[in-house]
Amino acid sequence: MNIILITLVTALAASVHAQSEADAAAQSKIVALEQLWNQAYKSGDTKALDSNTDDAIVLVNDDSSVADQAEFLASVKSSMSQPNAQRPQVAPQSLAVHVFGNVAIATGVMRVKGRENGKS
């Protein structure tokens, strides 16, 4: 009985270690995607933003309004087509990625400084 218990504990420990490595790899990929998203946003690259976001994304703005993907991309395109448009200053403040099986949830805060609708 002790041999079976030791075998089960060893197998469970190996499974947890493999899962931790997979979770770490997923977290690294999500962080890299977030960095790509920030770069694309800073440069106004709507093609990269489109390919890096899902059609079902919902963004919550600082004024609590929400935007779907099409609205977000239109606002980026509009702000970059303004005469004398200044690129937004984007500075990620925090990012945490949590992996639950085959789902990863990234939460974070980024500081954006720029102009929107003529307002700072």
CATH code for the domain of 18 = 3.10.450.50
Pick the residue with more confidence: 87 or 15? 87
From the number of C-beta atoms within 10 Å of its C-beta (0-12, 13-18, 19+), residue 81 rates as exposed
Total domain count for the chain? 1
pTM (two decimals): 0.66
9 in any annotated domain: yes
For the segment 50-103, what is each residue's pLDDT rounded down to a tens digit?
A: 998 889 988 887 788 899 999 999 988 887 776 655 666 777 788 898 888 888
More confident residue, 119 or 96: 96
Host domain of residue 34: 2-113
Nearest of 109, 115, 120, 116 to residue 38 by alpha carbon? 109
Is the residue at 120 inside a domain?
A: no
Q: Which residues contact 93 (CB under 8 A, 6 or more apart)?
A: 108, 109, 110, 111
Would residue 61 count as lying in a domain?
yes
More confident residue, 114 or 99: 99
118 is a domain residue: no
Cβ count within 10 A of residue 104: 15
pLDDT band at 116 (very low <50, low <70, confident <90, very high): low
**119: in domain:** no
- Tell me if 101 is assigned to some domain: yes
